[in-house]
Amino acid sequence: MVFIMKKCTLLMMTIATVLTFASCKSSKQVVQTPPPGRTEIELPCVNESMDDDEFFKALGTANNINMQNARSAAFDAAKSMISKRLGGFITGLSTDYSRVVAGDAQQEKVQRMMEGEFYSVVERMLNDAAKTCEKMYQNQNGAYESFIAIQVSKKELINKMADKLTDNQELEIEFNRDQFRKFAEKKMKELQDMQNR
């Protein structure tokens, strides 16, 4: 009888130990696998492609059998994304600013000239945009896949736009750098707020 009781006690202790270890193992995090038929893809350079208070940013991707062509196309795609976002900013800025500094008869002319000047500034800055991240992969078929993130300084953009307006003798407006900077910063903030919604 004592032997049977010892065996039962030993059995109970073994079961308790096994259950303790099992519960410890189950507390570990379970690795979640994506649902069948779907694969999660990690996008390189994505962290360096979100606008912030100081920079306009973008990520461009491209595939090509030639490595240099893949890089060039990815860089062009990133520039194009920033250029599209800046289109509304440039139009709004030149419209508002020309309304304040030009008379009714001159507003349309001044607005057109300002837009032209601003677009040339943006184009030059995008061509010189800093690459903040670049990744290159080669697929099984030999093609190259390029990821490039770039950024353009908002402050530098405003300063270069102001320089352009200062140098332009045809505008025939009283140009005030501080007033212009306030307009430009306000428009940039509106653009940033729209993107954050």
pLDDT in tens, 60-90: 999 999 999 999 999 999 999 999 988 888 9
Average pLDDT, stretch 174-184?
83
Query: Domains of the chain: which residue ranges?
Result: 46-192
Question: Is the confidence at residue 18, as pLDDT, over 70?
Answer: no
Residue 136's pLDDT is what? 96
What local confidence, expressed as pLDDT, does residue 46 receive? 87
Report yes or no: 188 and 154 within 8 Å, Cβ to Cβ: yes
The whole-model pTM stands at 0.74
Judging by DSSP bridges, how do beta strands 144-153 and 55-64 pair with one another? antiparallel
Question: What tens digit of pLDDT does each residue of 23-62 get?
Answer: 444 444 555 666 677 777 788 898 888 888 899 999 999 9
pLDDT for residue 7 is more than 70: no
Position 196 scores a pLDDT of 74
Tokens of 121: 């500034």
pLDDT recorded at residue 32: 64
Distance of alpha carbon 86 from the chain centroid: 13
pLDDT in tens, 93-120: 888 888 888 777 788 888 888 899 999 9
Backbone conformation region of residue 172, classed left if phi is above 0, alpha if psi is from -120 to 50, else beta = left
Q: What is the pLDDT of residue 8?
A: 44
CA distances from 104 to 87, 147, 171, 176, 179 (A): 24, 47, 14, 19, 19
